[in-house]
Amino acid sequence: MGDFNINSSELKHAITIERLTKVKDEDNILRDKWTTLCNSRAKILYTRGSEYTENYGTNSNVGVTFYIRHNHKDITPKNRIVYKGKTYNIIYVNNVQESNNYYEIKADWCNNGIKTSGFDDLLNDLNNLGNVGNKIGKKAVEEGTKIVLEQQKKDAPKDKDSDHGADKLKVTNIKKYKSTIVGKVGIDESNWDEVDHLYYQHYGFELWKNGERVEPHLGWMDDSFKKVKDKSSETMMNIVGQEIDKILK
């Protein structure tokens, strides 16, 4: 096999590769934000989705192949490409011939806000819709928090000296903080007396007799949330996208 090479004149398209990061907003709440991983010049080939299916065994509808010089950046399908104002979802990244000379990046462009824009862009759409957007956002968060709540009820540790209390866990609050709608699940002052032992199981506690630290279920609420985080987020994004589509039709 001959060495793969691209003429410099073919690398004529300016692209930006972005990655999703977590940043704190003005309310000190972590939010997703796309930031620049690298800028590059690319050769671009437009292909049919069926060609990619035959070559790489996937049903993804890939429309574009980007070739860029290898730059030792960790480019993965979790990143995205921005070219001429359009966002492309990365499907596959190949270090061509494992030679560290070029990256081949298979990607697709989808005219669908959920797939290409990210949750922050959906929130911007909701804000632009005013009160209607607030209702849509609340509906989405309600459904997302239900998923988290059901998982917490399954994972709540049992205490021999008290009632299980899992059925007393609940969605405690759904509220808009400036530009963000936040749902809280689990424990607050309204159900504290019935589930306080689950709180102490989560954070650990000290035995009053000897001061021994007890934490057999330390962080159980965090672990429970991680199990359904993606499912909950996907549910919320789907609801928002569907409701916005109804309005725009």
Domain map (residue ranges) of the chain: 8-110, 119-248
Report the C-alpha gap between 208 and 39 in whole angstroms: 59
Closest to 185 (Cα-Cα) out of 225, 154, 220, 132: 225
Question: What CATH topology corresponds to 8-110?
Answer: Thrombin, subunit H (2.40.10)
Report the C-alpha gap between 16 and 35 in whole angstroms: 10
| DSSP E strands, 98-245 | 102-109, 170-177, 180-186, 205-206, 213-214
Task: Please tell me the predicted confidence (pLDDT) of residue 47.
Answer: 57
The answer to whether 145 and 235 have CB atoms below 8 angstroms apart is no
Task: Please tell me the predicted confidence (pLDDT) of residue 151.
Answer: 93
The answer to whether 146 and 139 have CB atoms below 8 angstroms apart is no
How do residues 181-222 score in pLDDT, each as one tens digit?
Answer: 777 888 877 888 888 888 878 777 766 667 677 777 888 888
CB atoms within 10 A of CB 47: 14
Structure pTM?
0.49
Task: Please tell me the predicted confidence (pLDDT) of residue 58.
Answer: 33
Task: Please tell me the predicted confidence (pLDDT) of residue 208.
Answer: 65
Task: Please tell me the predicted confidence (pLDDT) of residue 10.
Answer: 93
Name every residue whose Cβ is closer than 8 Å to that of residue 105 and which is 6 or more positions away in sequence: 65, 66, 67, 68, 75, 81, 90, 92, 93, 94
Low-confidence ranges of the chain (pLDDT < 50): 48-62, 111-119
